[in-house]
Amino acid sequence: MTEYRVCVIGGWCGNRMVMVAEHLEGVLSNAGLPSRVTTHSVWDNYTRPPAADLILQLLPAFTQSETGCPVLTIKPMIVDIYHQETIERILNQVRADYPA
Report domain extents, the chain.
Answer: 4-50+67-97
| pLDDT score, position 89 | 98
Alpha helices in 1-100 (DSSP H): 14-30, 64-67, 76-79, 84-97
Amino acid at site 26: G
Residues of the chain by 3-state class (helix, strand, coil), percent to 5: 40, 20, 40
pLDDT in tens, the chain (100 residues): 578 999 999 987 668 999 999 999 999 999 999 999 999 999 877 778 889 999 999 999 999 999 999 999 999 999 999 999 999 999 999 999 987 6
What is the pTM assigned to this prediction?
A: 0.91
| pLDDT score, position 11 | 84
State how far the Cα of 37 lies from the Cα of 23, in Å rounded to an integer. Answer: 9
With 0-12 / 13-18 / 19 or more C-beta atoms within 10 angstroms meaning exposed / middle / buried, residue 89 is: middle
Give me the half-sphere count of Cα atoms (radius 13 Å) on the Cβ side of residue 45: 11
| pLDDT score, position 13 | 66
Return phi, psi of residue 94, to 5°: -65, -45
| pLDDT score, position 49 | 83
